[in-house]
Amino acid sequence: MVEIQLVQGDITESDCDAIVNAANDHLWMGAGVAGAIKRRGGAEIEAEAVAKGPIPVGSAVATGAGRLRARYVIHAAVMGQDLQTDAEKIRQATTSALAVAEQLGVRSIAFPALGTGVGGFPPAECARIMISAARQHQGPSVQRVVFVLFGADVFRAFEQALAETVS
């Protein structure tokens, strides 16, 4: 069974093997998590990502991680060019990112709260969807899923959802 951890902080500082970018289907890295990854890891991450796009919403691709501590950035397309998302897109993007992590053979992966920034999706519902997808994941490689959450409100939403799945 996958170990699930919650951390309040900056995903670009994660010590996981891979970090997930909340991406759009064209894989341009503008604001939010994507912008932070690009600023910290380098423009080469975006250049490599864009060369692999566009991809279907709900799918994911991996790139190198530039100057980040992680080895890979997994770009999970949680929205299209309309910058809108929904529960099914978040579920698919989470599952796809985990599948890519398995293909890469990584043991640990860090996720942001997909779709809650630019996409405006409610953090509590996002937390339930993503934690459920992580709990259902089965594979030989991924041992640890870390949700790295930037704001206190989003962290509390994930904390509550995790507590509900344990009890």
Domain span at 95? 3-166
From the centroid of its chain, how far is CA 72? 12
First-to-last C-alpha distance (Å) of the chain = 16
> Average pLDDT of 80-105?
96
Reduced to 3 states (helix: H, G, I; strand: E, B; else coil), residue 145 is: strand
Give φ, ψ of 98 to 5 degrees. Answer: -65, -40
Query: For the chain, what is the domain count?
Result: 1
Give φ, ψ of 75 to 5 degrees. Answer: -95, 110
**Residue 74 half-sphere exposure, CB side, CA atoms within 13 Å?**
30
> Average pLDDT of 74-97?
96
Closest CA to 118 of 146, 158, 89: 89
What pLDDT band is residue 105 in, cutting at 50, 70 and 90? very high
Amino acid found at 128: R
Helix axes 87-104, 123-136, angle to 10 degrees: 40
148 touches 109 (CB < 8 A): no
What pLDDT band is residue 167 in, cutting at 50, 70 and 90? low
What pLDDT band is residue 165 in, cutting at 50, 70 and 90? confident
* pLDDT exceeds 80 at position 17: yes
Q: Find the CATH number of the domain harbouring 26.
A: 3.40.220.10
What pLDDT band is residue 8 in, cutting at 50, 70 and 90? very high
The CB density around residue 119, as the number of other CB atoms within 10 Å, is 21
Peptide bond into 54 cis (omega under 30): yes
pLDDT tens-digit series, residues 147-161: 999 999 999 999 999
pTM tops 0.85: yes
Closest CA to 89 of 102, 73, 76: 76
pLDDT tens-digit series, residues 41-72: 999 999 999 999 999 999 999 999 999 999 99
